Amino acid sequence: MADTYTPPRVWTHDAENGGKFAAVNRPTAGAREERDLPVGTHPLQLYSLATPNGVKATIMLEELLEAGHEDAQYDAWLINISKGDQFTSGFVAVNPNSKIPALLDRRGAEPVRVFESGAILLYLAEQFGAFLPSDEAKRAEMLGWLFWQVGSAPFIGGGFGHFYAYAPEKYEYPINRYAMETKRLFDVADQRLAQTRYLAGDEYTIADMAAFPWIAPFVEGTIYNDARTFLSIDEYEHVGRWVGELAQRPAVQRGRIVNKNWGDEDQQLPERHSADDFAGKRL
């Protein structure tokens, strides 16, 4: 590199430095604005955005409905993270970490809040007895792949995605570091999917729902500019097969457009309150 950065003895926040999300990112937690969250008529209230982490939750909810679990009817409300909606008092009350997605389950006497995408998937799977193996060994295998994805996402998003696509300046070292790790993770998935139909084995589970929203956009070339070419994603044949299969599932197709407010209008559904909301949408 042309310049070498020498860290100060004590770090301080520079609001002018941080790239695309500099305006909303701060080193502090808590609400910045008093504002209640909207509440709909269904038992489950989802507050989210159609980023990969948000899509995990909407795919799961749509899969539950597809499987006949009518108690999984939900309202999905848009949280615009670029405008700081995640820092309102209502949202912080549901997720003190101010990250999407966040779920409020109002089926019982007292509402139950669930935050973190992996926790939402596991909570819903346990509540509805779906997409979660009952066999102890298969359940352990599934949990391994679920948390493999949860632990991997920061390397792919905050690591590779940030330095390759969002950082105000491009630097060789962090791009190389996170490109290597992203490709290693794709290779892990590719080797596994060479052996099994789904990540946890021959059964479609929440592990697949967790990984798909992160992996599919690389295969389809819709994330981080030209990352598909840069990372030679075509090399991962078995990942491509798995993505193609999951992308054809009706619930996955619906879940991918819920809380989406960018792109083609017929592929956006900023809010979802009933199955009728998908009418006229291109899935």
Which distant-in-sequence residues (6+ apart) come within 8 Å of 245 by Cβ? none
One domain for residues 3 and 109: yes
Does residue 164 surpass a pLDDT of 70?
Answer: yes
Residue 191 lies inside a defined structural domain of this protein: yes
* SS3 call for 231: coil
Domain residues for the domain of 203 are: 136-247
207, 149 contact by CB (below 8 A): yes
Residue 252 lies inside a defined structural domain of this protein: no
pTM across the whole model:
0.96
One domain for residues 16 and 108: yes
Residue 233 lies inside a defined structural domain of this protein: yes
Over residues 71-127, the pLDDT tens digits come to 999 999 999 999 999 999 999 999 999 999 999 999 999 999 999 999 999 999 999
Residue 96 lies inside a defined structural domain of this protein: yes
Residue 254 lies inside a defined structural domain of this protein: no
One domain for residues 120 and 143: no
Lowest mean pLDDT among 21-30, 52-61, 90-99, 142-151: 21-30
Long-range contacts of the stretch 213-222 (C-beta < 8 A, 24+):
213/52, 213/53, 213/54, 213/55, 213/56, 213/59, 213/256, 214/52, 214/149, 214/152, 214/153, 214/156, 214/157, 215/186, 215/189, 215/239, 215/243, 216/243, 216/246, 216/247, 217/52, 218/186, 219/243, 220/247
Residue with tokens 């599932």: 249
One domain for residues 49 and 149: no
Query: What is the model's pLDDT at position 211?
Result: 98
Over residues 210-261, the pLDDT tens digits come to 999 999 999 999 999 999 999 999 999 999 999 999 999 999 999 999 999 9
One domain for residues 42 and 146: no
Residue 88 lies inside a defined structural domain of this protein: yes
One domain for residues 73 and 170: no
- CATH number of the domain that 5 lies in? 3.40.30.10
Long-range contacts of the stretch 273-276 (C-beta < 8 A, 24+):
273/40, 273/41, 273/42, 273/75, 273/76, 274/73, 275/65
One domain for residues 155 and 233: yes
Count of structural domains within the chain: 2
Cα(153)–Cα(211) distance, rounded to whole angstroms?
A: 9
Confidence class of residue 2 from pLDDT cuts 50, 70 and 90? low
One domain for residues 142 and 226: yes
One domain for residues 127 and 140: no
Residue 189 lies inside a defined structural domain of this protein: yes
Cα(215)–Cα(247) distance, rounded to whole angstroms?
A: 11
One domain for residues 108 and 155: no
Does residue 51 surpass a pLDDT of 90?
Answer: yes
One domain for residues 66 and 143: no
Does residue 25 surpass a pLDDT of 60?
Answer: yes
One domain for residues 10 and 125: yes
- Interval 26-30 mean pLDDT: 94
Over residues 89-98, the pLDDT tens digits come to 999 999 999 9
Which distant-in-sequence residues (6+ apart) come within 8 Å of 142 by Cβ? 132, 133, 199, 200, 201, 205, 206, 207
- CATH number of the domain that 195 lies in? 1.20.1050.10
- Token pair recorded at residue 22: 């500099």
- Taking all residues of the chain, what is their mean pLDDT, rounded to a whole number? 96
Residue 253 lies inside a defined structural domain of this protein: no
